[in-house]
Amino acid sequence: MEETLRLYELTSMVRQAIELTFTDEYWLEAELAEARVAQNGHFYAEFIEKDSRGINIIARARATAWARTYNILAPLFERATGERLRSGLKVRVRVGIAFHELYGFSLNIVDIDPTYTMGDLSRRRREILAQLEADGILEDNRQLELPRLLKRVAVVSSAGAAGYGDFCDQLLANDYGLSFDVRLFPAVMQGVNVEDSVLAALGAICDEADRWDCVVIIRGGGATSDLSDFDSYALAAAVAQMPLPVVVGIGHERDETVLDFVAHTRVKTPTAAAALLIDHGAQELAAIDELQRTIVLAAQQRIEASKQQLSRLLALLPRSFALVRERHSHRLDRLALRLASAPRHQLLDGSHRLQLIVSRFAQASRLKVQGAKFKAQSLEARLSALDPALQLRRGYSLTYLADGRLLRSATELKAGDVITTRLTDGTVCSEVVEKSATQ
C-alpha cells in the first residue's frame, strides 16, 4: 500500500520546495484587482493577469506589503504618479515568494516601480485620446463658439465642494457688476460613481441645452489620485459631443485629465473657471463701450458736418434770394405788359364770340319753331282721323250698355239687356232677344 500523507505534511513539503527553489526576489508586472490597508497598517492586495483580449483572468495571486514597508513605498508612489495604490492600476513590484501551510501561496511586496504605473496611465490616456480621434469627435467641443454673452451657466460639481463655493463667490464679487445665472447639476466628483454621476448631470443639461450658454465642470482640491476617475472614454466622449461649450477646471494647476483635452476651454482650478467667465464678460463690456464711443464720435462728426453745411447755405441765402427776386421781377414786368394789352384783345374776342352766339341762337330758334309746328300739324291730323263723328259718317255705329259703357264684345250681353246704338243722325234703343258667337 502506497504511503498516505497528511495535509500539513504535504503543504510543508510544498513550502520547503518553494523556499529552496525561489530564493531570490522577482520583479512582477500585474494589475491590482483588490487593494486595502488594514487597521494594523499592513497592505493587502490581489494581483491578476488577463488574457490578450483583456477579458478573462488567467492568473491570480495574493500579496502583502507589511506596514513598515508600505509606509515607505506608498508615499513615494503617490508623489511620483499622483495616484494611490488602488484597484485597476497596473504596477511593477518586487516580490518575494512565500508559502504557508495555513494561508497558502502569497507574495511579499518589498519594492515598487512608479515609472511603470506612470507609463501605463499615460498609455491608457493616449489610447482614450486616440479612440476619440478615430471616432472623429476629439475636436468637436473645441470647434463651438463661446456666446458673446456668457450669463447662463450650468455647473457640474459636488454641492458641498469648496471649489464650487469659491466659484460662485468669485462670480458674485466680480469688479464689473456682471450678473450670472448659475445652476448646479450635482454629481459625485470622486470615487467609483464619478463616471455614472457626471454622465447623468451632463445628460440633464443636454435635455434643456437651449437654457444655458455654457457648461462648467469643476472639482476643487483633494487627492490627486482621485482624478484618474475622470480618465474615462465615456466621460470624454460625452464632453466632446456636448452641444454647449464646456469649461473644465478640475484639481490643481499640476493636474491633468482626459477631459482637459476634449473640453472647449481648460483651466486649472474652479476659481480660474470663474475668472474666465468674468474676463469674457469684461471683454464684451469693453467692446460695447468702444462701440458706444465710436457711435458717439460718428454722430458728433455728422452733426458738425451738418452744421457747416447749414452755415454755407445760410451764407448763400441772401445772394440766392436776390437772384430769385430779380428773376421774378422780370417775370412780373412781362405779366404787367400782357395784362395791360389783354383787355382790348379780350373785348374784341368777346364781341366776336357774342355775335356768333346770337347768330347761332336765332338759327336754332327758327329750327325749333319749325319743328314744333310740324309736330303739331301731324298730331292734329292724327286726332282728326280718330274723331268718332267722322267714323259715324262713314257708316260705323257705337253701341252702349245700360250703364253707359261702350259695348265691345257679345260676351258682355245676355237676353233681356237693353242697349243703345248711336248712328250719325240719331240713336236706337234695342232689347237683346238672342245672341250668337262669331264662328
Going from N- to C-terminal start, the domains of the chain cover 7-122, 135-283, 390-431
Angle at 163 between CA 200 and CA 156, to 5 degrees: 15
Round to whole Å and give the CA distance between 420 and 162. 139
Task: Supply the DSSP string of 204-237, one letter for each residue.
Answer: HHHHTGGG-SEEEEEE-SS-GGGGGGG--HHHHH
Using the predicted structure, report yes or no on whether residue 352 has a pLDDT greater than 90: no
Lowest average pLDDT, out of 67-81, 190-204, 391-405, goes to 391-405
- Which residues, in sequence order, are CB contacts of 107 under 8 Å at separation 6+? 28, 47, 61, 62, 63, 64, 95, 96, 97, 98
Using the predicted structure, report yes or no on whether residue 234 has a pLDDT greater than 70: yes
pTM of the predicted model over 0.85: no
CATH class of 7-122: mainly beta
Buried b (16+ CB within 10 A) or exposed e, 34-56: ebebeeeeebebbbebeeeeeee
Half-sphere CA count of 238, side-chain side, radius 13 A? 20
**Which cell is 144 given?**
463651438
Q: Which of 185-189, 321-325, 398-402, 431-435 has the highest mean pLDDT?
A: 185-189
Place 347 in a pLDDT band, splitting at 50, 70 and 90.
Answer: low
Give me the pLDDT at residue 37, please: 94
Using the predicted structure, report yes or no on whether residue 226 has a pLDDT greater than 70: no
Give me the pLDDT at residue 276, please: 95
**Which cell is 204 given?**
440633464
If one compares 313 and 244, the residue with the highest pLDDT of the two is: 244
Q: Cα dihedral sign for 13, 14, 16, 20? A: positive
Two domains, one topology: 7-122 and 135-283: no
Using the predicted structure, report yes or no on whether residue 396 has a pLDDT greater than 80: no
Give me the pLDDT at residue 1, please: 66
Round to whole Å and give the CA distance between 215 and 196. 17
In the predicted model, what is the mean pLDDT of the chain?
86
Residue entry with cell 495604490: 85
Three-class secondary structure of residue 79 per DSSP? helix
Round to whole Å and give the CA distance between 281 and 148. 8
Is residue 95 within 8 Å of 108, Cβ to Cβ?
yes
Round to whole Å and give the CA distance between 43 and 61. 14
Give me the pLDDT at residue 343, please: 63
Using the predicted structure, report yes or no on whether residue 350 has a pLDDT greater than 90: no
pLDDT (average), residues 5-20: 91
Round to whole Å and give the CA distance between 184 and 157. 7
pLDDT (average), residues 421-435: 84
Place 125 in a pLDDT band, splitting at 50, 70 and 90.
Answer: confident
Three-class secondary structure of residue 39 per DSSP? coil
If one compares 99 and 222, the residue with the highest pLDDT of the two is: 99
Query: What is the CB neighbour count within 10 angstroms for residue 207?
Result: 9
**What fold, for 135-283?**
Rossmann fold (3.40.50)
